[in-house]
Amino acid sequence: MDRADEVSEEAPGTRFLLFPQSPFLENNPQLELVEISAPPGSIGPGPSGPRMYTVDAEGKTTPYGAIVPGPRGPGMYLPPWDGFIHPPAMPDADGNFTHIDPSDPAFQSAHLFGSAHFTMDVWEGYFGHPIPWHFARDFDRLELSLLPSLDNAHIGWGFLETGGTFEHGGEYRPYSLNFDVVAHEIGHSIIYSVVGMPSPEHTSGEYFGFHESAADLVALLASLHFGSVVETLLENTSGNLYTFNRLNRFAELSENAQIRVAANNKVLSEFTQGWTSEHALSEPLTGAMFDIFVDIFHERLLVHHLITPEMEDLSDRLEDSPEYSDVMQAHFDARYALNPEGFRIALIEARDYLGSYLADAWSLLDPDMLTYFGVEQAMLAVDRDITGGAFQRIIKGNFRMRDIGVVQVGPRLADPDETSHAVSTRTRVPD
């Protein structure tokens, strides 16, 4: 199993300071130091590197991907930006970008670059090989573009462009500072690269739901590479992640937006009559994957003797009783206090199992007529391959809980609107 952690321990990378989640969600947001997989000195002003570069354009008004008039008729507006730019983020004498203060306008450029690169590093670690850009036919590098007038963030043919929102009392909140948003968009590009686009006549609704789910999972597992995210999650729950499934306490237990999306209880049978939003349709699949993650974490805790089989029995016996939550939480609190570091290691093991499984499973998928049940079959095949089938019961059980493989998804009920990621500039390919 390839682990991004191990890669970063081997060779020194270029350092960035990132907000593990949107700094606007917290009162006192803390930056965390990360290293991207590029040797110090290899990332130039922008930042710019061999795989991607940031541009803070001056006077840019049109988003990339828009259809604009051209000398030979209408065509896609695409990178590279060739106009004036605002001052780029500069590396320090050691080649790092940690000296730039968040109040410096160049911080956004550095944060966008660091977030996109770090996410790609994590996932290339899980895939075990470089992930080519899906637009490699036309561009070697991804242009990371800051466009404040865009109330969105989107990835497309050669670009990842982030704007911001004024919807919170007039304060401008740039998406470039929201790691989850940037990581989610990188997730879409990973899926375009490793799964590909279905042919129009073989495009299933579940393909669109799968895309959103995968993008959320890319962001979730990338964010679990921040030490502070793991620590907060464990401190707040004492490792009792089942509490997410049993209690409606997400807001209280986790401010992390990705965990809140993933810890849902949606089932696929809600969509037998049809669907309108691929974000909603993605939730049963993401929820199944989150539950698999929680179950694998539980298995790792047992393997390391950090919880006891008796706790499992007790959990089964109290299943539907009113005292369930309090009794189980007291057990977890006691156990976690004995060995928090052991719990942290078990969580990271579960994270990396899921990451490697997803990477291998996605690599097996055919985009035509893609179904969630097909995703399950791929996960089961990967599990047989890697562990000889250690998690078959966990995988099957969690997919059945979501009614996946039991019901058929109905048709799309309405034309996609502007919130759709699936039918947008993202999927547009120049002729």
**Tokens of residue 11, six digits:** 């060779």
From first CA to last CA, the distance across the chain in angstroms is 39
347 touching Zn ion, by CB under 5 A: no
Task: Tell me which residue of 290, 310, 277, 224 sits closest to 416, measured CA to CA.
Answer: 277
- Binding to Zn ion by CB under 5 A, coded x per residue (else -) over 283-322, reads ----------------------------------------
Quick count: other Cβ atoms within 10 Å of Cβ 229? 22
Pick the closer one to Zn ion by CB: 43 or 186: 186
In the chain, the amino acid numbered 89 is A
Task: Tell me which residue of 160, 190, 192 sits closest to 176, measured CA to CA.
Answer: 160
Smallest distance, Zn ion to C-beta of residue 212, A: 5
Region from 43-51, 146-154, 209-217, 253-261 binding Zn ion, contact rule CB under 5 A: 209-217
Pick the closer one to Zn ion by CB: 211 or 298: 211
Pick the closer one to Zn ion by CB: 402 or 421: 421
Pick the closer one to Zn ion by CB: 101 or 418: 418
Region from 23-31, 297-305, 347-355, 419-427 binding Zn ion, contact rule CB under 5 A: 419-427
Smallest distance, Zn ion to C-beta of residue 182, A: 12
Among 17, 89, 120, 215, binds Zn ion (CB under 5 A): 215
- Number of residues binding to Zn ion, judged by CB under 5 A: 3
Pick the closer one to Zn ion by CB: 89 or 289: 289
Smallest distance, Zn ion to C-beta of residue 421, A: 4
Distance CA 226, CA 10 (A): 18
Pick the closer one to Zn ion by CB: 218 or 233: 218
Pick the closer one to Zn ion by CB: 242 or 271: 271
Distance CA 406, CA 139 (A): 42
395: region left, alpha or beta (phi > 0 left; psi from -120 to 50 alpha): alpha
Smallest distance, Zn ion to C-beta of residue 221, A: 16
- Binding to Zn ion by CB under 5 A, coded x per residue (else -) over 159-198, reads ----------------------------------------
**Tokens of residue 318, six digits:** 């109290």
Contact 281, 209 (CB under 8 A): yes
Region from 17-25, 174-182, 211-219, 312-320 binding Zn ion, contact rule CB under 5 A: 211-219
Pick the closer one to Zn ion by CB: 261 or 347: 261
Q: Tell me the three-class secondary structure of 413-425, residue by residue.
A: CCCCCCCCCCCCH
Place of tokens 């911001």: 164
Distance CA 362, CA 376 (A): 10
Smallest distance, Zn ion to C-beta of residue 358, A: 16
Place of tokens 């890669």: 7
Pick the closer one to Zn ion by CB: 152 or 256: 152
Contact 162, 150 (CB under 8 A): yes
Among 404, 421, 422, 425, binds Zn ion (CB under 5 A): 421
Smallest distance, Zn ion to C-beta of residue 183, A: 11
Smallest distance, Zn ion to C-beta of residue 158, A: 18
Pick the closer one to Zn ion by CB: 193 or 339: 193
Quote the Cα angle for 386-390-394, to 5°: 120
Distance CA 284, CA 425 (A): 26
Smallest distance, Zn ion to C-beta of residue 266, A: 17
Task: Tell me which residue of 233, 261, 268 sits closest to 351, measured CA to CA.
Answer: 233
Please name every residue paired with 154 in a beta bridge, in sequence order, or none if there are none. 161
In the chain, the amino acid numbered 217 is L
Smallest distance, Zn ion to C-beta of residue 213, A: 9
Instruction: Name the residue number minimizing CB distance to Zn ion.
Output: 421
Smallest distance, Zn ion to C-beta of residue 58, A: 28
Which positions from 359 through 418 interact with Zn ion, judged by CB under 5 A? none
Distance CA 352, CA 348 (A): 6
Dihedral of alpha carbons 251, 253, 259, 261, sign: negative
Pick the closer one to Zn ion by CB: 116 or 346: 116
Distance CA 141, CA 135 (A): 9
Distance CA 34, CA 48 (A): 17
What does the binding site for Zn ion look like in residue numbers (CB under 5 A)? 212, 215, 421
